[in-house]
Amino acid sequence: MAKPDNRADNVEHLQQSIQNTQENLQEAEGYLNEFSSELDSKERAQIEDKNARRKQSIRSFKEEVKDEAAHAEE
């Protein structure tokens, strides 16, 4: 028998994911600012691409939080 869908802590998990992703983004941006002159263009591009994906993930997480909050009100 399948477990019932327990969504009680989904928002909490999503908010933790947002926080972790924001911290990683800030850390990578700090690294770029500090060491940009020492990075080759390929490495710099990889970090910038990853940060773009992180920004998209944060937007997606925030949309999920809204969806979960709306679902909790139903």
The rounded distance, in Å, linking the Cα atoms of 66 and 20 is: 18
Provide the pLDDT confidence category of residue 70 given band limits of 50, 70 and 90. Answer: confident
Structural domain boundaries in the chain: 44-74
CB 29 within 8 A of CB 44: no
| Residue count (the chain) | 74
- Examine the pLDDT at 4 and tell me if it is beyond 70: no
CA torsion sign for 7, 56, 54, 27 is: negative
Question: Is 40 a residue whose pLDDT tops 70?
Answer: yes
Identify the pLDDT of residue 5: 65
Q: Give CA–CA dist 11/29, Å, rounded.
A: 27
Q: What backbone phi and psi angles, to 5 degrees, belong to 35?
A: -120, 15
